[in-house]
Amino acid sequence: MFGKANETWLIVGLGNPGREYERTRHNCGFRAVELLADKLGCKIDKAKFQGIYGQTTYGGKKLMLLKPLTYMNLSGRSVLQLSAYFNIPPQRIIVLFDDISLEPGRLRVRPDGSAGGHNGIKSIIQEVGSQAFPRVKIGVGSKPNPEYDLADWVLSSFSAKEEKALAVALENAADAALAIIDHGVPDAANRFNGSHP
């Protein structure tokens, strides 16, 4: 088992609150963290820290699951408040989010890095003051053409075929987050990077 017992970890799924955003490309993080909560029998139902969160134990560690309700561009405020309150360092904050540079169904696990144009990640880096948090990127596909507005694209829904690939990717993303806690980022990256349904 990687890491120490009794550590507290935070897994954050990024998205936008509101029914109209539920099935959009930008809300993959929410969906992955909800799936993970189901797997762990954890309810994400406590309203605090500008989000809703749940608390459970996993492998002798305390695990917090968070959905920021600030809208995507201010996600970092919620992450900072919860991580500061529970004293969780960036290295134990795992963020699940959508990535337009990956095809639907593909994943990429990374130990750290820049925002890469993702406003939710940009906000977390800004608020937490570090890029050194692990992340699981969930492929949502690139814009159909260069003229297509990026905001419109990430707020669009998936086709039925894409949803099929995504269902597997969301399962894998939830498993990848746990694999990071179990064995560390390199091991999780080996297992899940490029995984495809």
Among all residues, which ones are annotated catalytic? 26
Question: Whole-angstrom Cα distance, residue 178 to residue 10?
Answer: 11
Transcribe the chain into DSSP letters. Answer: --S-TT-EEEEEE----SGGGTTBGGGHHHHHHHHHHHHHT----EEETTEEEEEEEETTEEEEEEEE-S-GGGHHHHHHHHHHHTT--GGGEEEEEEETTS-TT-EEEESS---TT-HHHHHHHHHHT-S---EEEEE----SSTTS-HHHHHTSBPPHHHHHHHHHHHHHHHHHHHHHHHH-HHHHHHHHTT---
Handedness of CA 45, 46, 49, 54 (dihedral sign): negative
